[in-house]
Amino acid sequence: MIEPDLPLLSTGEVLSALVDEVANLQARQYAVMRKVAELNRRGAASELGYKDLPQVLQHAVRWSRKTAKQWVANAALLASGITPTGSEIAPELPVTASAAAEGVLSIEHVAVVAEIMKDLPAECEQTVVDLARAHDPVELRAMGRKLVYALLQNDPEPRDPEPVRQVNQHVMQWKGDCIEIRARLDKVTGVKYEALLDPLAKPRPTTAEEGPDPRSRAEREGDALAELVDLMLRADQLPEHGGEPVTLTVTMRYEDLADKLGQGMLDNGERIAAAEVRRLACGAGIIPLVLGERSQPMDIGRKTRSFPAGIRRVLVARDKGCAFPSCGRPPKHCDAHHIRHWANGGDTSVKNAVLLCRHHHTLIHRSEWEVRMVHGLPTFYPPSWLDPDQKPRRNIVGSVA
């Protein structure tokens, strides 16, 4: 279609053309959401070795994590699903999906509709969408609050919670592949805990590769707690458990570990993938356990730490922190990673090691990113789907000179 000569059109004609273009644009955005939903449905993040789909979209289309998460969330609400038998499942917000397909709702409209519908029954969706067709997202949010208030104004007022005694409580419970932790600490302990967590929970520096730190405060504090656990495991003074310092034991066949197959079993009976075992093996104390044909323990070796302090000091001097392109995490937040894994014959040496933060250490183990030593410096090669030429990259704005 040939674009008309805009100066020859009347103001009304230009405005009408703009409205049509925006409707077409929003309809195409709905088509994009369907593709995002399909990638999520088939587990593309796991297939590509990434933590989640927003992380994939950050690298693939260079969205910020906040934008990527919004697209994934909206796509999940508007896309239909497929049962194992092949039957189609209606979208969670079917009226909204239909309006988005027409091109009358923007991404911001969809997010606000979803926010409002959390507090309203499903039969109110048509009313909310009708409001969305006629109002901008800010006005829609205000009208949504009025709808919720009108519907729930006769509910009883919530009672004030009972005061809680100042005692320390800690509850752990495994739920699927995650452990859920709930804790209540007294004021003094709480202040000390906060002081430990705060410096680790600061946003990562803005980088050219990934932009500003996209994590919410809750995500940053969760990662900080994980880093605190890693720091404690590397500490010189730890409480003893069963007569020796606290140790994480993972049992699996050596052949499976070398071939990145199967699962390892933790000492509490939980299982983790071989790739996660390989990541843990980079910096954890390793206890070799030789199993017989029927998996009975035959011999147990001496615990050895993969990277001694001397090698780590050299790595800190060379890498100055996480060596992944554009990352700026300091050395104390980094693990030493075997470039050629020890299970594949890689030695524990400076020339076979690189410092990586927890985030990028996990990414290297789970994805198709590769790291090699080139002229004595760690060099990274992206997956072919991200860069067909797989041009080498170094950390020139972060820690590596």
Task: Tell me, letter by letter, the H, E, C secondary structure of 287-316.
Answer: CCEEECCCCCEEEECCCEECCCHHHHHHHH
Q: Rounded to 5 degrees, what angle do the CA atoms 121, 127, 131 make?
A: 130
Least confident of 40-54, 107-121, 236-250: 236-250
Q: Is the pLDDT of residue 129 over 50?
A: yes
The reported pLDDT for the residue numbered 239 is 44
Q: What is the pLDDT of residue 53?
A: 93
Cα separation of 2 and 247, whole Å?
A: 70
**Average of pLDDT values for 329-343?**
83
pLDDT at 145 over 50: yes
DSSP string over 110-165 = HHHHHHHHTTS-GGGHHHHHHHHHHS-HHHHHHHHHHHHHHHHTTSPPPPPPPP--
Query: Average pLDDT over the chain, rounded to whole?
Result: 78
Mean pLDDT over 248-265 rounds to 69
- The whole-angstrom separation of Cα 253 and Cα 222 is 32
* Residue 128 pLDDT level (bands cut at 50, 70, 90): very high
- Residue 381 confidence (pLDDT): 95
Model confidence band, residue 260 (pLDDT cutoffs 50, 70, 90): low
Which region among 5-9, 230-234, 390-394 has the lowest average model confidence (pLDDT)? 230-234
Q: In 10 A of CB 305, how many CB atoms?
A: 13
Quick count: other Cβ atoms within 10 Å of Cβ 60? 17
Per DSSP bridges, beta strands 263-266 and 271-273 are antiparallel
- The answer on pLDDT for 380 being more than 90 is yes
| Cα–Cα distance list, 359 to 182, 216, 322, 333 (Å) | 24, 15, 10, 10
Q: How many CB atoms lie within 10 A of CB 117?
A: 21
- Is the pLDDT reported for residue 309 higher than 90? no
In the chain, the percentage of residues whose pLDDT exceeds 90 is 16
Query: Is residue 330 within 8 Å of residue 229, measured between CB atoms?
Result: no
Task: Report the predicted TM-score, pTM, of the whole model to 2 decimal places.
Answer: 0.53
When pLDDT is averaged across residues 301-324 and rounded to a whole number, the result is 73
Tokens of 315: 């790595």
What secondary structure letter does DSSP report for 6? G
Check whether 290 has a pLDDT greater than 70. no
Q: What's residue 209's pLDDT? A: 64
Q: Can you tell me the mean pLDDT for 355-365?
A: 89
> Parallel, antiparallel, or unpaired for β 81-82 and 88-89?
antiparallel
pLDDT confidence tier of residue 163, bands split at 50, 70 and 90? low
Using CB atoms within 10 A of its CB, is residue 55 exposed (0-12), middle (13-18) or buried (19+)?
buried
Burial class (CB in 10 A: 0-12, 13-18, 19+), 84: exposed
Average pLDDT rounded to a whole number, residues 253-274: 69
Confidence of residue 252 (pLDDT cuts 50, 70, 90): confident
End-to-end Cα, the chain, rounded Å:
51
**Given this model, what pLDDT does residue 282 score?**
63
Name the DSSP class of 204.
P
**Residue-level pLDDT at 303:** 41
- CA 191 – CA 32 distance, rounded (Å): 46
In contact, 215 and 226? CB cutoff 8 Å: no
- At residue 354 the predicted structure's pLDDT band, cuts being 50, 70 and 90, is very high
Task: Characterise 320 by phi-psi region: left (phi > 0), alpha (psi -120 to 50), beta (else).
Answer: left
Residues 6+ away with beta carbon under 8 Å from 305:
285, 286
pLDDT band of residue 86 (cuts 50, 70, 90) is low
Phi-psi region of 376 (alpha: psi -120 to 50; beta: other; left: phi over 0): left
Confidence of residue 268 (pLDDT cuts 50, 70, 90): low
**What is the band of 374 on the pLDDT scale with cuts at 50, 70, 90?**
very high
Looking at residue 234, its pLDDT comes to 61
> What per-residue confidence (pLDDT) applies to 237?
44
Q: Which two tokens stand for residue 94?
A: 């079917």
Range of weakest confidence among 7-11, 331-335, 395-399: 395-399
Query: Is the model more confident about 397 or about 51?
Result: 51
Q: Report the Cα 161 to chain-centroid distance in Å.
A: 34
Query: Taking 80 as the threshold, does the pLDDT of residue 89 lie above it?
Result: no
pLDDT of residue 329: 83
